[in-house]
């Protein structure tokens, strides 16, 4: 661990946590780690209400169980702050038994009250301020964002619905489909409340939940259709049983849905679901949407078309669509198409040359996808391209993977 001290004698890691510099924290954590220092940094992050930082430290081995009584803030304080990541850090399995069930039920009730009242009402009650509130979208953990509301110098995040769902799960309480959907639909797809509801419902994997989600595909509001589509998609995605009971019904629903859906966000979710099925029917259903005007839809096609190691069901059409998508005006579409070609089973030279052309793409992410794809196709051009890109940036974990594929190819090629 880089333990160079700051001017006040504090370690570099603690200083980075205090400065909320996630990129620096990530870089320091990737070096030789001092467990005691990582644990201390975790406690500091929780005391600062920096849930995202606390989760990052947990992912790098912080042990919350080593914290002493009184070293972490009360659970009620975290619930009131409205950050699901912060509450999750305090409810980590290694310290969860510090809280009696009676306290967890009280926190569930508190989260419900705060969710129903909304953050602004709570802030006005606490501060007495009558000025306008300031709202900003903030990242709460690696995957989810929420809205932070500030009034009178006090800030609260609007993650109480997600916190409520998490506490219900811990307490073994089964909320209804309708209630979980209502919590999600007060927000957008990227909000923590949405992800908690869809994941909770998808993990139930029962017919009642499936039917309720499937019924939403004809709802007049796009947000409701999107919610239903995501629950159905995740239900199949999470089904790791040998029977895979939801594979057939999911393919039937999404194939038909893809021909009727008009809203781009919903259609993209439907096509993502089809891309998760390695079946001729799903691949054929993706093809008509390769030239869709919305980049979200084209990206779903690029990511799902021709996946798997099996030969293409429609090789000429698939190949032509991927070649077009690899020259798309949107960098994320080009990148996803390149990843798909690299991982796919079609080793046609025209596809390899198209990947090689992307080594000069203006976007680093696309270049990395091309390097990985060429390495998987055992093309020597990946070696020099990987060297030109330089070392992976620590704040982007995927870069090490892409470059690592090229490095391993070079070692095999040179017989190391």
Whether residues 104 and 68 fall in one domain: no
Whether residues 123 and 194 fall in one domain: yes
Q: Is residue 355 part of a domain?
A: no
Whether residues 101 and 197 fall in one domain: yes
Q: Is residue 153 part of a domain?
A: yes
From the list 306, 339, 296, the residue with the least C-alpha distance to 190 is 296
Q: How many domains does the chain have?
A: 2
Whether residues 24 and 111 fall in one domain: no
Q: Is residue 290 part of a domain?
A: no
Tell which of 142, 175, 202 closes a domain: 202
From the list 155, 36, 144, 168, the residue with the least C-alpha distance to 91 is 168
Residues 6+ apart with CB under 8 A from 192: 84, 140, 141, 144, 145, 146, 159, 162
Cβ proximity of 318 and 306 under 8 Å: yes
What length is written for the chain? 416
Cα(184)–Cα(279) distance, integer angstroms: 31
At residue 7, what are phi and psi to the nearest 5 degrees? -60, -30
Q: Which residues of the chain are modeled with pLDDT < 50? A: 1-3, 7
Whether residues 57 and 117 fall in one domain: no
pLDDT for 311: 55
Q: Is residue 21 part of a domain?
A: yes
Whether residues 191 and 116 fall in one domain: yes
Whether residues 65 and 103 fall in one domain: no
Tell which of 183, 202, 221 closes a domain: 202
Residues 6+ apart with CB under 8 A from 71: 43
Q: Is residue 328 part of a domain?
A: no
pLDDT for 308: 53
pLDDT for 3: 46
Q: Is residue 268 part of a domain?
A: no
DSSP SS3 for 12: helix
Whether residues 136 and 172 fall in one domain: yes
Q: Is residue 235 part of a domain?
A: no
Tell which of 155, 173, 202 closes a domain: 202
Whether residues 135 and 186 fall in one domain: yes
pLDDT for 1: 44
- The domain containing residue 101 runs over which residues? 97-202
pLDDT for 9: 58
Give, in order, the Cα–Cα distances in Å from 205 to each of 202, 235, 237, 240. Answer: 6, 6, 10, 11
Whether residues 116 and 55 fall in one domain: no
Whether residues 157 and 197 fall in one domain: yes
Cβ proximity of 60 and 29 under 8 Å: yes
pLDDT for 89: 96
Q: Is residue 345 part of a domain?
A: no
Whether residues 155 and 193 fall in one domain: yes
């Amino acid at each position: 661990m880089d333990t160079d001290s700051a001017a006040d004698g504090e370690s570099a890691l603690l200083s980075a946590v205090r400065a909320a510099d996630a990129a620096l924290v990530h870089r320091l954590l990737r070096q030789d780690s001092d467990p005691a220092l990582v644990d201390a940094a975790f406690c500091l992050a929780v005391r600062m209400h920096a849930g995202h930082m606390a989760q990052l430290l947990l992912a790098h081995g912080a042990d919350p169980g080593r914290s002493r009584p009184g070293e972490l803030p009360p659970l009620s304080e975290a619930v009131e702050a409205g950050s699901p990541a912060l509450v999750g850090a305090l409810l980590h399995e290694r310290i969860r038994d510090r809280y009696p069930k009676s306290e967890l039920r009280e926190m569930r009730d508190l989260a419900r009250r705060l969710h129903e009242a909304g953050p602004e009402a709570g802030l006005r009650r606490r501060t007495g301020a009558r000025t306008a509130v300031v709202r900003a979208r903030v990242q709460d953990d690696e995957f989810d964002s929420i809205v932070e509301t500030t009034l009178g110098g006090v800030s609260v995040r609007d993650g109480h619905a997600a916190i409520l769902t998490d506490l219900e799960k811990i307490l073994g309480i089964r909320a209804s489909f309708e209630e979980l959907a209502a919590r999600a639909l007060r927000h957008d797809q990227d909000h923590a409340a949405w992800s908690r509801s869809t994941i909770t419902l998808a993990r139930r994997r029962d017919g009642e939940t499936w039917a309720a989600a499937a019924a939403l595909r004809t709802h007049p509001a796009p947000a409701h259709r999107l919610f239903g589509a995501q629950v159905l998609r995740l239900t199949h995605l999470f089904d790791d049983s040998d029977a895979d009971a939801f594979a057939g019904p999911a393919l039937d629903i999404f194939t038909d849905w893809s021909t009727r859906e008009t809203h781009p966000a919903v259609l993209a979710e439907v096509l993502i679901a089809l891309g998760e099925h390695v079946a001729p029917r799903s691949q054929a259903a993706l093809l008509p949407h390769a030239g869709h005007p919305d980049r979200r839809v084209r990206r779903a096609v690029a990511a799902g078309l021709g996946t798997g190691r099996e030969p293409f069901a429609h090789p000429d059409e698939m190949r032509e669509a991927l070649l077009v998508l690899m020259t798309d005006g949107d960098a994320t579409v080009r990148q996803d198409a390149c990843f798909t070609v690299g991982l796919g089973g079609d080793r046609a030279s025209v596809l390899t040359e198209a990947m090689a052309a992307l080594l000069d793409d203006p976007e680093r992410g696309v270049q990395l996808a091309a390097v990985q794809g060429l390495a998987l196709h055992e093309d020597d051009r990946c070696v020099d391209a990987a060297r030109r890109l330089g070392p992976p940036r620590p704040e982007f974990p995927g870069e090490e993977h892409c470059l690592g594929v090229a490095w391993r190819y070079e070692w095999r090629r040179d017989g190391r």
